[in-house]
Structure 1
Amino acid sequence: MKKFGRLALPTLGASALVIASATAALASATITTTGGTPYSGEVRATNIGNVTLTGVSALGSIVTTCTSGTLDAYVDSDGTGGSLNNVELSGCTNNRGGTTTITAIDLPYSGGQVDYAPVSGGRDAALTIFAPNPTVHIQAVLTLPTLGIPSLTCHYGLSTSTPLVLDLFNPGNANKPVITNSHGQGTLAGQSLQRRTSPTPDARCPASVSANGNFQIVAHPSGADLQVGP
């Protein structure tokens, strides 16, 4: 039986963060609480500020802005075993006067990999989502009133060989995206999903969609801060 996660987005956005292929390389990371205890368990990512999602087609640019979102996932302390279990995003409107509802089909998604990969003046770690991955299937239903389109259904996945990468920042990193937020964070910067060939695509749907946004990341349900080390 299919399991569904419903969002108000025109793209996968933050829900692609923990999907990966079974061919992922061995992760190299240690996930702990800030007290140094290895942590395997549920994590919750919550958006900090708006998340924007953009696609371009024969209809022109379609941009959606979402004001609220939560992703619930699981991760092992060595960076392996990631799975996305629940997605809730809301308060989403698009620049064509309408809304978009996304359904993530066949949740949970598994296989996400975290690696300790610090960059001077930037991130501490990275979450890689390997591609191609034929199991990823995101259905987007858009209302586009200013274009005279009452409903447009699009389907997206990971069909190219380019992985998705989410930069991760530990709570104490002075270079994290939103320094006024005290928690660990993740950032999306133009990460892309591609239009699926099945079901038969609607040519009016953007060939790809990209997401931008920042998220705080904590253990769930405790709310404890987490960090990634070597």
Structure 2
Amino acid sequence: MIQDLFSPSVQHALDIVGIFVFAISGALLAVRKNFDVFGIAVLAEVTALGGGLIRDVVIGAVPPAAFTDLGYFITPLFAALLVFFLHPEVERTQLAVNVFDAAGLGLFCVTGTTKAYDYGLGLTASAALGLATAVGGGVLRDIIANEVPSLVRWDRDLYAVPAIVGSAMVALCINYDMVNAFTSSLAVVTAFVLRLLALRYHWRAPRAWHRRSTAVEVEDVASS
């Protein structure tokens, strides 16, 4: 199976790291929204596990891994407690959080694609679920926090595109029977680097050609 490219212990450790940093981002948003401790924990759990839950339910991998591995469930709670008590310090390490978040994005888009393919989906559907695994938790986080999801906001640095690139790379490697530990790692690194470059240079997706909307002015007024 493709998922056997990495040893179970390595795969589990990488998953835990990705879950932790995603949970940190969810908990930080909850603090900014003035949520109580329960709200912080909920947003941390949803952000960390939402994408994987969507993937597992779609492919029929039930019960989802989030409910069969206690470590997956406990890790976001630990991140929530960390942010609850130390959120000013965590905010000051936002650069490090962004770096780890980018690493989690790259990892999850690749593992999501390979797991979906292992469960019998086609290449396109597998890549789509790889994207869902990487960004699904963030979308659910923003919806619960009553925000327009960052995934579709023009004023946010590219997030989905790096995940799409990573998922597509894995799908192409599967198609040409080239998937192995090296090519999978290359896809992770590519998505990771693209996300960091987007953060560094504020790369954003283009909007509609010759658009006449006044949304820019509305956004500017709201942020001023």
Instruction: Give TM-score, length-normalised by structure 2.
Output: 0.28
Instruction: Give TM-score, length-normalised by structure 1.
Output: 0.28
- Greater strand fraction, Structure 1 or Structure 2: 1
